[in-house]
A and B are shown apart, each in its own frame.
Chain A
Amino acid sequence: MSEKVLEVPDLSLVVLVGASGSGKSTFAARHFGPFEVVSSDHCRGLVADDVNDQAATADAFDVLHHIAGVRLRRGNLTVVDATNVQSEPRRQLVALAREHDVLPVAIVLDLPERVCLERNAARPDRDFGAHVVKRHRDALRRSLKSLRREGFRTVHVLSSVEDVEAARIVRAPLRSDKRDDHGPFDVIGDIHGCRSELETLLETLGYAITLDEHGRPVDAVHPEGRRAVFLGDLVDRGPDTPGVLRLVMGMVEAGHALAVPGNHEAKLVRALDGRDVSVTHGLETTLAQIEAIEDDDERRAFRERVRSFADGLVSHLVLDDGKLVVAHAGLKEAYHNRASGRVRSFALYGDTTGESDEFGLPVRLDWARDYRGRATVLYGHVPTPELEWVNNTLCLDTGVVFGGALSALRWPEREPVQVPAEAVHYEPVKPLVAETPVRDDDDLALTDVVSTDGAGRGVETRLAGRVAVAAEQAAGALEVMSRFAVDPHLLWYLPPTMAPAGGWAEAPELLEHPQAAFEAYRKVGVTDLLCEEKHMGSRAVVLVARSRNGLAPWSSTGGVVHTRTGRSFFSEELTVAFLDRVRAAAEGAGLWDELCGPAVGDGAGGGAGEQWLLLDAELLPWSAKAEELLRTQYAAVGAAARAALPAAVVVLEQSAARGLDVGALLERTRERETDAAAFTEAYRRYVWPTGVGEGRLDGVQLAPFQLLAASPLPGDHGPPQAGGAPKSATSGAQTFGDRDHSWHLSVADRLVEADAELGGSLFRTTRRFRVDAADAASCEAGTAWWTELTGAGGEGMVVKPFAGAALRGQKGLVQPGMKVRGAEYLRLIYGPGYVRDLERLKQRQLGRKRSLALREHALGMESLARLAEGEPLWRVHEAVFAVLALESEPVDPRL
């Protein structure tokens, strides 16, 4: 028995049609997966506990439509197992398929009545009479002819038990689905009959052009097997539409190019079909040029070839594992690899409002602004003066026919190639001039950072997979980000929180001990460690452009200096002064030229040539940021203690002298006096006078310890050009997570030296000590170093894997650092007399803090990685925002 092949698009809504007893469920179970089939009987059971309860039919179909709709939205083939012999239920299913832009397919099981009756009789749960089957059969027979008219794009009819037995389902990819085609490609924008420019472009791209016997180009071949992808609008307006078509058709037919249709091709097809179209917008030139072909046979053949070529083009293509989508007018994500009238219409004409502007041209909605997809979308259709990435989309129509340029993008290199127009071939209706760049804050949507349905979100990270952000965390962060943080266009990184080390059995008097940190790293196989002095200041992130007007228009100060919650440290004037000193030091240290390459242009107005550095640092003194806190909280404690304790000691001593039993209380009160004095001493180390209040920088110090990122090297056309960088930055960035910490500190040292040579004292060195955690003597030495540091009043140290921040250990991601805080400093955290409560405090749980530190670390590295790859602002901001959101996690703030 021969197979009967039934072709089904691999994303479609398959509607089974057949009378009760025709074997739909058996058929579905044999040919489709268990989750792909949604059955009306099952849905009756879901809503009414009874698969035969006809009274529940309406509700059951509600559920069925919902399930099918959700599956289709998510891109899963779905089979509806219901009788579907009446037209109304089928109409609803066709509408559902259209709503999700998938093709509806009908598979009809048109089996003889006798077979259905026998099967029903064999099933004890089917006790309805023969009249039901007969009614179904009658309805089905009446429907057969109308199925296509109802909108089913494919109809398979199986009319016998043998047919059913012989059936085999073959899933066919959609015509748009070219995910298996990995290129490489050269994607070419609107040509509009500019044959000469096209030839020049192809040659620039490295293609060898083949000529026919009349010397006309009919093919182009790339020696490395690259292929062109034409984005449509090959025709109209320009001097030689037939020449362009001959070349492009030749390339496509020879397998040297792919093409999608443009709206001009669609109209040309209608014109060639003799339909009534208005011969305007350049169609008149095309038709005239075709008519000018002298030989009648050749002209007729050419017309026929063009018609069939243009008519056969698929409106969009999904290429290279889904990483690249091409469509003439662009395509929103929900339409990728879908098929419907509106998908085709969007691909050809774009997202229009149906209104016209003052020039009579359609008003377009900015779908690219809303685009959040991972696939790069390349398109044309709207002539633009400059190539500009918007959210991972790029319009390659640069108006060659209007005297602009013909543009191509090399894929996957993402490298643009342009040739200028040889002339203004056609006067544009609307002037093709660069609009004054308007500062557009509209890049970020609320839904990029919170979900408006109250659910949580997740951020995918390279280092730790999906990091969950709960709705309430995001809600808190939204307020801080909106009301206090610097402009998101300049907020590229928020530092993660850091977990403390635990105690050490041999030093019971300490809550945190270096040996505990060494051991924690040793346990995960990381033994090469660097201890860095923990400065007594506030964490600061410094973004500085080489020139004061760099990073415009987002910054008027050539950068920002912000806290770990994204607030600016200083007033605008002081920020300018501060950044001037930083950029001068970087200049003196030669960092700009060495790290960012020689300056290109003056950096004015942003764009290429912009140079910047992003530093992770500590800003001192703590009082510069937190004077209010020190005054109202810390000093207030000292003042109250100084007032209360001596008076208490006096009355206790007098009472004791009178023989009252106050023993333990007096002793404890004296201890408290000592503790309070030590507490006061501890906070005073964080206080020194600065000029910040008066708008001066004296007293302020910056201790950088890590170079987070820098502007990309000029000429680096690799990933940095990717999906449209944050408009505030440049395209992409260099990151340095793979450099070891001694490299990072050497950059810092050079800034300190250069600043000193300029006579400044803004920069401060970070002291360091390398420890081999596998060597007991080295660990002892590290402990001694820490003891000396904290004994001299230092806050403590941070132990980091020497190899750098992105290190992975034996069990995955390792802590990027662990803090070991000095005993005196901890009075500021746990209270003046915490040392008398050590046993209880040692029970503190560190697990949650460590987990939080790792998740925030992964997010921080993620935002830098996204910045490095030139991803859109919303992608960078998503990760930055998540760090802030996680900070509201209820973790003991003393850790």
Chain B
Amino acid sequence: MITAGGEDGVVLLTITATASPAMPVARDLGFLLHKHPDRAQSSEVFGGTAHVLWPEAGDERATAVLLLDVDTAALQRSRGRRETPEGFALADHVNDRPYAASSLLAVALGKVFRTALAGRCDARPELPAQPLPLEVHVPSLVSRGGAALVRQLFEPLGWDVDAAAQPLDPQVPEWGESLVVDVHLRGTLRLADALSQLYVLLPVLDDAKHYWVSTDEVDKLVRAGGDWLPAHPDRELVMTRYLRHQRSLVRDAVARLDDVEGLPLDDPSSTIKEALHTDPCTTSLIVEGGVEGVGANEEKATPLAVLRREAVLAVLREAGATSVVDLGCGEGALVRELLRDPRFTRVVGADVSARELEKAARRIGAGSTTGNLPDSVAARLELLQTSATYRDDRLAGVDAVTLVEVVEHLDPPRLPALERSVFAHARPRTVVVTTPNAEHNVRYPALAAGAFRHPDHRFEWTRAEFAAWASDVAERRGYVVVIKPVGQDDDEVGPPTQMAVFTRRDAKEEAA
């Protein structure tokens, strides 16, 4: 009996078995799935109602349909984090979730076909172990990576893949393809394997889970992927996406899968290593680290973000600074380093984003509820929301201000405001500015020609442009400036990062 579900959407997959020596009567698929082929059955699952239907159930062919009647209201209540375009307040109400085969469908599959997934069939105990000729149809699979990634992930598992990306809008052809792929899989596999692969790979392809990743997920992945995942050529991608880039979880999963198969992880260019080395300092740096991390210089042991911090710290120590404002501190990677060195007696992390500052507080261990910094360290730390384009008296009187990968996030017309608030108003002895060297971008194969390293970059300067800006500022504001490379200084295109160290002229004279 079909019960009324929510009002908002439908998503489905079909599984078709054809008669074969291993299972001469196709209808016996019903035994394997524990669902009677002459009845429609439904059950409440997360996000709506799951129905199992049988559009055909003959001796030669039998098709079971898992149809999820999505209840958007229920979905909203438990909505997880998804990337949506900035400022799209209606993302809760206008999104593809009710029609997209994604983690919701995977969860429903895990619940409705739990016994089959576990490979149990009490009525026909010999069947689960038998590879069967199967067809799977997922008409609205969402794939970040398109049809190609669908093929890349399913073909190694023994499937014959027919994947057709759907246009975003047939009437607006210039928009191109959507993420929706109409997928047909054909192959001879054990049903439990087929189901577990769908269970893991639907959310992996979608790459936007509807619920928070927790350690439970590691268990689920190890359980569902234990048989086939260790041998999958893209297992790192699968794990990283499945665990949503949570590094410690990935590490945990790797260790536990290694226990299963005893496989060493030795490929330095693997996605997981990439994920492990990606700078966690800011979301922007994750992307940027991604680009900068896949440069031509293969064996680079130390990520650029780390080199940058080391270079800045060295400058601050050499300058004898004891009070430092890190302006645009993001999630506080440099602030943490500064706190580790007791010579910095006043460390101010300043950012325009209250959200970033909250993250910084958490990462530093100074969050309002999670704070566990010793009093002596907490006393040296301040986190302030400020804006480089307004003058802020709280920044005055420190020894040094650092602007690490900040200026390129400002529209050029706002640079004079930044210049005034830092060099005229705060007016510290030392100012350190780092920014990408645009010339070096050609060394990043992953970066399209002319593209910036981060979508929020408003510009990227060549060495000459940076030097011109820096010397103008120094001239106008009474500073002496020296420009230094950070990272490997390429003969042809220069270093990946350029750093300007400004010293206030009167301070320089005092020292002399």
Contacts and interface: CB of A to CB of B under 8 A. Distances in A.
A689 B67 CA distance: 38
B40 A662 contact: yes
Contacts of A125: none
Contacts of A556: 413
Interface stretch (A28-36, A415-423, A639-647): A639-647
B142 interface: yes
A663 B40 CA distance: 11
B54 A441 contact: no
Contacts of A836: 7
Contact of A636 (B51, B93, B101, B179): B179
Interface string A510-553: 00000000000000000000000000000000000000000000
Contacts of B53: 651-652, 655, 660, 662
A173 interface: no
A628 B85 contact: yes
Interface residues of B, number: 80
B397 interface: no
A439 B93 contact: no
Contacts of B413: 487, 556
Interface size class of A (residues with CB under 8 A): 35 or more
Contacts of B56: 654, 658
Interface string B367-392: 00000000000000000111111111
Contacts of A829: 90, 93-94
Nearest to B3: A664
Contacts of B424: 442
Given A478-B352, A634-B94, A651-B67, A833 B388 contact: no
B89 to A, nearest CB: 3
Contacts of A440: 420
Given A479-B353, A636-B179, A660-B39, A446 B94 contact: no
Contact of A635 (B98, B178, B410): B178
Nearest to B384: A452
Given A478-B352, A479-B352, A565-B87, A831 B93 contact: yes
B114 interface: no
Chain A facing B: main interface SS: helix
Contacts of B167: 639
Nearest to A487: B413
B168 A635 contact: yes
A333 to B, nearest CB: 16
B391 A476 contact: no
Contact of B354 (A472, A646, A669, A680): A472
Interface string B54-87: 1111000001010101001000000000001101
A672 B94 contact: no
Interface in B144-193: 166-169, 171-172, 174-175, 178-180, 182
Nearest to B65: A651
A837 interface: yes
A448 interface: yes
Given A643-B182, A645-B99, A665 B392 contact: no
Given A446-B391, A647-B137, A828 B94 contact: yes
A632 interface: yes
B9 interface: yes
Given A487-B414, A636-B96, A441 B88 contact: no
Given A444-B391, A637-B95, A641-B99, A665 B69 contact: yes
B14 interface: yes
A643 B420 contact: no
A631 B175 contact: yes
A277 B99 CA distance: 90
B1 interface: yes
B319 interface: no
A830 interface: yes
B4 interface: yes
Interface string B35-49: 000111000000000
A482 B388 contact: yes
B166 A643 contact: yes
Contact of A479 (B7, B88, B354, B392): B354
Nearest to B12: A648
B96 A665 contact: no
Contacts of A894: 90, 93
B385 A478 contact: yes
B124 interface: no
A684 interface: yes
Contact of B178 (A444, A639, A684): A639
A875 to B, nearest CB: 15
A483 interface: yes
B420 A830 contact: no
A833 B414 CA distance: 45
Interface string A746-785: 0000000000000000000000000000000000000000
A452 B10 contact: no
Given A482-B389, A644-B139, A664-B2, A635 B172 contact: yes
Given A446-B390, A452-B392, 4 more contacts: A632-B85, A647-B139, A648-B10, A830-B93
Interface of A: 439-442, 444-450, 452, 472, 475-476, 478-479, 481-483, 487, 556, 565, 628-629, 631-648, 650-655, 658-665, 668-669, 672, 676, 680, 684, 687, 689, 828-831, 833, 836-837, 893-894
Interface of B: 1-2, 4-5, 7-12, 14, 38-40, 51, 53-57, 63, 65, 67, 69, 72, 84-85, 87-91, 93-96, 98-101, 137, 139-140, 142, 166-169, 171-172, 174-175, 178-180, 182, 352-354, 384-394, 409-410, 413-414, 416-417, 420-421, 424-425
Nearest 10 CB-CB pairings of A with B: A654-B55, A893-B89, A640-B99, A441-B417, A643-B140, A639-B178, A647-B139, A644-B140, A482-B387, A640-B96
